[in-house]
Amino acid sequence: MWLKADKQEWKQFRTAAEVFWQKNLPPADDDAVILVEAFHQDVRVTLRNLAVANAIRRIRPARLVVFTGVEEAWRRTLWKGFDVSLVRELATAYGAAETIDVWDIVRKSDRKPSFDVSAYVAATDARLAKLPALPERPAAERQRYGDGLAAFYEDQFRRNVVALVTSHVDYDQWGLAVEVARRRSVPVIHTQQTGCLKAYALFPEHDTGAGTFREELTRQIGDMFESRVWPRRDKLRPVTELIAWRAKVNLGRPSWWRGGTTASVDLNNPAERAVLRTHAAARFGLDPERPIVAVFNHAVSDALGTNRELFPTLADWFAGTAAWAAEHDSAQWLFLDHPSQALYDSTGFFGSVAKRHHGARHLIFQPSTALSKNALWSLTDLGVTVRGSVSNELPAYGIPVIQAGWSEWSSCGLSTVVDSTEGYFKTLDESIKAIQDGVTLITEEQVQRARLWLWLYRSGSDVVTPQVPQWEVWPANTLLKTMRATFRHIESDADPLFETVERMWTRREPMLTRTDLS
Amino acid sequence: MSVGTWFRTDYDEPALPAGLPLTLSSGMNPAVTILDQMVRGNGIVGRVVGDFGAIALKIHGGGGPVRVAVSIGLDDVATRWWADRVRPSRLAAELPRLVAVRAQGRIHGGAVLARRQGWRGAASAEATLSFDLTAGEMRDDGLLLVEIAETAHPSWAAGRLCARSAIGLRINRIEVREQTAPTRTTGPSGATGCDFTVIQPGAPTAYRIVTAAVPSAPPLPLSPRNRVTRQKPARAVFKVARAARRAAVRALPSHPGAVEEVVAADLITGEPVPVETTRHDDETRVRLTGPVTRPVLLGSAKPQPTLSWRLTPVEPA
C-alpha cells in the first residue's frame, strides 16, 4: 500500500479502528465470508471497500476475507510503492479474519480454471503494456496468471460467500473475481473512487447474465433513473440547478475530472459564446461560421471490452472516426486527446493518427488541455465520444453528444447513443447537416435529464458518512486523523453508512443512495 | 435554439457592465465576464496560463467608436510560469517575447517584450498598445474581448524569440474611452531591450535605428523538478550553481557592434516583408517599401542579443 503517513498516526488510527469495529460488529456464527479486494495502492480505495464490507457484516454477520498482493507488471506500470504488510495491518484493524496474498499463490500456480479467461488476459496485457489494441497473443506469463487467478477465485467462491466487495471490475485481478462471483450467484458491490461513499451493486436476481458487469449496470441504472429520479424532477429542480452551477465552475468535482483554473466556465448565453468562438476558432484556423465537431479520444487502453461498444477497441473508434472525418469537410473536426493519456498509451497512438491526417485543414488534433473549458464550450457544436464524461457534462448545458458505446449514464437519455457502426456514421452525417440547417439537436428534456444525472451522480448516490471522508480529504496524515476522530468520538448509531448499505442490501438496489428514493 | 441557450443556470450572476471611460486594473472587477486561459489578478487584470489568453469585459455604452489601450507586462513571475510549463533545458537563456493583440476577432497590433537585465538594474518590461474600435465593433451592452495571442515566428528568428510567448504574460491594465477622431494604432516607442521591434499598422515606413548595448539575459529560473533537486539541503547546492551560471552570463562582455542588416516579416503569418537597410555614417536606417497595413516584425539579420533597439521615424529620403 502506498501510504505517506507518520508511523505514529498510522498506529493510532489502527488502534482506534480496531476497537471501533470490535464493538460495532456482531460475531459471525457460521462459516459465511465476505470477500474484499485490496489490490489498489491508494488507501482511500481500500478504506471504501472495507467500510462497505463491514456495513454488510452488521446485517449479515460473516468473516472478512481480504485479497491483496501485487504483481510485477502492475507495480512497474502503476503502483510503485505497494506494501502488502501495510494492507494486512489495515485489514486486521477492520476485523479481517484472513488476508490472502493472492499474487503470492498465483505466481506459483499452474492451474487451469473451468472457463475461458482470454478476454480478461488480453485487456490486462493491453493496459499494462499501455497498448491501444488488444494483443493477438498475450504473453504466456499473463495467460498463466489469468488462469491461476481464475482457478484461485473458483476455489474461494466455493465457500459460503455473502458478497464480493471490489473497487474495480476490469482486468485480471478484479475482473476475474467479478466473473466468478456472477457465475456463483454472489452479489457484487462495486465501490467508486470519488466523492464520499459511492457504490454500485449487481445482485444475482437482477443479473440477466447476458452482458458484462458494466452492461448489466448501465441497464439497471437507466431503469432506476427512469422510475425513481425522473418523476422527481420538479421537486429536485432547485438543487439540480445549484449542482449544474457548481459543476460549471468546477465545484463538487469528481476526483477524475479536469481541475485547475481553465476548467471553470463563465459563459452564460449564445452571445457570449459567439464572441469567444471567433477568437478560439482563429487560434486553430477554423471558420466560426461552420459547424465544429469535437471528438474526445479516450484513455486508449482503459478497460477494453468491458461495456458495449460499436468498435472492437477505443483506438479503432478514434482512427475510424478520423478517417471518416477526413472525407467529410462539411464540418470542421477538433480531435482532442485525453489529459491522462501518458498513463494509458506508450505507443504515441494519438500522434500517429494526427500524422496520418497531416495536411487535412479541416481536422485539428490537440491535447484537450490546450483549450480552456470556456473555449471548448464555445467551439463545440457537437461532441462525440464512446464513454467519456463529456457525454454527461455537455448535454447538461445544451451541447448535443453522440456516444459510440455505453457508459454508466448512457441509458438515462442524455445523449444520442447509437447501436451500430453504420448507424454511427449516419447519425454523424445527419447531425452535421442539421447543424448547418440550424436545427437544434438536443431537447430541453435531455438537458434536464443531464442535470438530473449530475445530481444523481454527485449528490443522490453519494453517501455522506464520517466513516468515509470525502476523496479530497488528503494527504494521508489528514485522512487518518479525521478517521481516528470518527472512530473515537462519533457514536455509530444511525450512521448513514449502515443505514444506506442496509437499504441497498435489503431492497437489492443497483446503487447506494443518500436518501430513500422509493 | 442555438447552442448556448442552456449555458445558464438559476444560480449564475449577471455580469455588471462597466461604464466609459473605463480604467480596469484588477481582475476582480465585476465587469470581467469571461476568462479564457487566464487567471484573475488583484493588482493586475490577469495572467495568461496557456498559449493564448483572452479576457472579456462587459461594457455599457461602447457601441460608438472607442479607443482601447492594453498594457502587457513581463515580469520575473512570468518567466517562472513559462519555465514551469514549457520545461526548457537548464541552460536555456531568457528570450524576448513576441505577441499579437487581438480584439473583437481582429489583430490590431503586436509587441515585443524583453526584460532589462543586469546585476542591479533588472526590471520588468511593459508594452502598451492603443487601438481604435470602429462604431458597431462592440455592441452597446456588449463584450470587449482582448486576447494576447501567439504568432508564427519567421524562420530567421528561430531560436531568438521565445516559443509559446504568451505563457505567463500579464495584462496589467485595460483602458477604454470614447473616441472622437480616428487615430492610428500606437505601440511602445522606447527601447525594446532586444534586437527586434514591431511596427504597428498605419505607422510611418522609414526609421532610424538607435541602439544601445544591454547585458545578456541569464538562464531562466527553474523550479526544482526532480527528487534530488527538490530536497532542501540539496537545493542549496543547486541554487549556488544556478547563481554561478547567472553570474557567468552577466560577466560576459557585450560588444554587439552595429546593426548591419535588417529583415522584416508579417507579424501574423511570418511571411517576409520587403525592407531596405541603409547605413549613413554610424547610423542605420530602414524603410519598408510598401505601406504598413498589418503589424510588421523588424529584426537584425544576424543575432545580436545584447543590442537594444529604438526606432525614431524619419522623413523618407
**Mean local confidence (pLDDT), A250-258:** 90
The three cell numbers of residue A148 are 491461476
Q: Do A374 and B36 touch (CB under 8 A)?
A: yes
Minimal CA separation from A51 to chain B, in Å: 35
**CB-CB neighbors (< 8 A) of A390 in chain B:** none
Judged against a pLDDT cut of 80, whether residue B317 lies above it is answered with no
Q: What is the pLDDT of residues B38-59, one digit of tens each?
A: 999 999 999 999 999 999 999 9
Q: What is the pLDDT of residue A385?
A: 97
* Mean pLDDT within A303-317: 94
Query: Which has more confidence, A509 or A77?
Result: A509
* pLDDT tens column, B100-158: 999 999 999 999 999 998 877 789 999 999 999 999 898 877 899 999 999 999 999 98
Number of H helices, E strands in chain A: 19, 12
Q: Are A435 and A291 in contact (CB under 8 A)?
A: yes
Asked whether residue B127 is assigned to any structural domain, the reply reads yes
Work out the pLDDT band at B92, boundaries 50, 70, 90.
confident
Taking Cα atoms as reference points, which of B145, B16, B149, B160 lies closest to residue B68? Answer: B145
User: Which value, in Å, is the radius of gyration of the alpha carbons in chain B?
Assistant: 21
Plot region of B164 (φ>0 → left; ψ -120 to 50 → alpha; else → beta): left
What pLDDT score does A2 carry?
Answer: 59
Specify if B71 maps to a domain.
yes
Average pLDDT over residues A318-345: 96
Contact A210, A217 (CB under 8 A): no
Residues 6+ positions from B82 with CB-CB distance below 8 Å = B162, B164, B167, B168, B220
Residue B197 has pLDDT above 70, yes or no: yes
Domain membership of residue B247 (yes or no) is no
Residues of B in contact with A275 (CB under 8 A): 34, 56, 104, 142-143, 145
The model's confidence at residue B207, banded by pLDDT at 50, 70 and 90, is: very high
**Lowest mean per-residue pLDDT among A252-261, A315-324, B153-162:** A252-261
Helices (H), A81-164: 84-93, 102-108, 118-129, 140-156
Average pLDDT, chain A: 95
How would you label A392-406 residue by residue, b for 16+ Cβ within 10 Å and e otherwise?
bbbbbbbbbbbbbbb
With beta carbons less than 8 A apart as the criterion, state whether B66 and B18 touch. Answer: no
At residue B237 the predicted structure's pLDDT band, cuts being 50, 70 and 90, is confident
The sheet carrying B196-199 orders its strands as: B196-199, B296-300, B262-266, B272-273
Residue B88 in domain: yes
DSSP conformational letter for A395:
G
Minimal C-alpha gap between B281 and chain A (Å): 44
- What was the pLDDT predicted at B62? 81
Amino acid A77: pLDDT? 82
Q: Are B294 and B201 in contact (CB under 8 A)?
A: yes
Please state, rounded to an integer, the average pLDDT across all residues of chain B. 90
Judging contacts by C-beta atoms under 8 Å, the chain B residues touching residue A268 are: 7-8, 12, 14-15
CA B251 to the chain's CA centroid: 28
- Is residue B67, in this structure, part of any structural domain at all? yes
Q: Could you read off the pLDDT of B161-190 as tens digits, one per residue?
A: 999 999 999 999 999 999 999 999 999 999
What digits encode the pLDDT tens for the residues A182-222? Answer: 999 999 999 999 999 999 999 999 999 999 999 999 999 99
Å from B33 to nearest chain A CA?
7
Give mean pLDDT, residues A235-247.
Answer: 97
Q: B50–A372: do the CB atoms touch at under 8 Å?
A: yes
Span B16-45, mean pLDDT?
94
Contacts of B35 in chain A (CB under 8 A): 261, 266, 372, 374
Output the pLDDT for position A1. 57
Any CB–CB contact under 8 A between A339 and chain B? Answer: no
Candidates B4, B37, B52; nearest CB to A273? B4
Whether B102 and A282 lie within 8 Å, measured CB to CB: yes
Task: Give the per-residue pLDDT at B90.
Answer: 82
Nearest CA-CA distance, residue B291 and chain A, Å: 25
How far B34 CA lies from chain A's nearest CA (Å)?
Answer: 5
Q: Do B3 and A398 touch (CB under 8 A)?
A: yes
Taking 80 as the threshold, does the pLDDT of residue A461 lie above it? yes
**pLDDT at position B201 over 90:** yes
Residue B49 Cα, gap to closest chain A Cα (Å) = 8
Which H or E run includes A320? helix A314-326
Instruction: Report residue A260's pLDDT band, with 50, 70 and 90 as the boundaries.
Output: confident
Name the band, by pLDDT with cuts 50, 70 and 90, for residue B247: confident
Tell me the shortest Cα–Cα distance from A267 to chain B, in angstroms.
7
pLDDT band at B4 (very low <50, low <70, confident <90, very high): very high
Q: What is the pLDDT of residues A347-406, one digit of tens each?
A: 999 999 999 999 999 999 999 999 999 999 999 999 999 999 999 999 999 999 999 999
Inside any domain, residue B3: no
| DSSP-assigned letter for residue A25 | S
Give percent of chain B with pLDDT exceeding 90.
Answer: 67
Instruction: Pick B145's closest partner by Cβ from A279, A370, A397.
Output: A279
pLDDT band at A172 (very low <50, low <70, confident <90, very high): very high
pLDDT at A187: 98
- Interface residues from chain B to A (CB-CB < 8 Å): 1-12, 14-15, 33-39, 49-52, 54, 56, 102, 104-105, 142-143, 145, 147, 149
Range of B157's domain? 15-217+252-313
> Chain B partners of A372 at a C-beta cutoff of 8 Å?
35-37, 50
| A284 in contact with B, Cβ within 8 Å | no
Chain B within 8 Å of A238 (Cβ-Cβ)? yes
Percent of chain A whose pLDDT exceeds 70: 99
For residue A78, the model assigns a pLDDT of: 80
The ipTM of this complex is 0.91
Q: Model's pTM, two decimal places? A: 0.93
The mean pLDDT of B66-75, rounded to a whole number, is 96
Chains A–B, number of C-beta pairs less than 8 Å apart: 114
pLDDT the model gives residue A315: 96
User: Which residues of A are less than 8 Å from B140 in CB distance?
Assistant: none
C-alpha cell at B211: 541602439
> Given CB atoms, is A398 within the 8 Å cutoff of chain B?
yes
Residue B228 lies in a domain: no
What is the average per-residue pLDDT within A28-44?
Answer: 95
Which among B9, B15, B33 is the nearest to A245, CB-wise? B9
DSSP code at position B122: -
pLDDT at B1 over 70: no
Q: Is the pLDDT of residue A3 over 80?
A: no
- In this structure, is residue B259 part of a structural domain? yes
Domains in chain B, number: 1
- Asked if A268 and B7 come within 8 Å (Cβ–Cβ), the reply is yes
- Residue B228: pLDDT band with limits 50, 70, 90: confident
Split at pLDDT 50, 70, 90, the class of B241 is confident
